[in-house]
Amino acid sequence: MLIMSRRQGETILIGSEIEIVIAHIGRSRVRVGIRAPRQMAVVALEVKLVSEENRAAALAPPAAVLQTILAQLLPDPHTFHTLTDEGSVRQDAGTKT
């Protein structure tokens, strides 16, 4: 990675179209101005991570998420089966009434 030192108000050029201005240097954060072609998306890295994470989350249907949680809460296969059986018995009884 290229590391450059810049002072407040100074600019960095990337190619001929992207301009990065160090607008303000605070104690723990830096404000950066970015000039780039309109069609170029400029987002904080975290927004991209969240966007990818949302797409992954959307691919997991609720039933699959519940099943994974249940399997993690009850890792012992015996416990898991006993509970599932009881649940289905109760459900059958419910439909008869």
Partner 1 sequence: MPETQTTNFGTISFAPESVFEFPNGLPGFEERRRFLPVQNPRTAPIVFLQSLEEPSLCFTTLPVWVVDPQYRLRVMEQDLEVLELTADRQPRIGDEILCLAVLSIRNTGTTANLLAPVVVNLKNYKAVQAVSAESGYSHRHLLFPQEAVAC
Ramachandran class of 5: left when φ > 0, alpha when ψ lies in -120 to 50, beta otherwise: beta
* Least distance between partner 1 and beta carbon 42 (Å): 14
Q: Which amino acid would we find at residue 5? A: S
Minimal distance, residue 53 CB to partner 1, in Å: 5
* Residue with Cβ nearer partner 1 (72 or 97): 72
Q: CB neighbours of 36 closer than 8 A, spacing ≥ 6?
A: 17, 18, 19, 42
CB of 24 to partner 1, least distance (A): 15
Contacting positions for partner 1 (CB under 8 A):
29, 44, 46-66, 68-69, 72-73, 75
| 25 or 49: CB nearest partner 1 | 49
Q: What are phi and psi of 64, to 5 degrees?
A: -70, -40
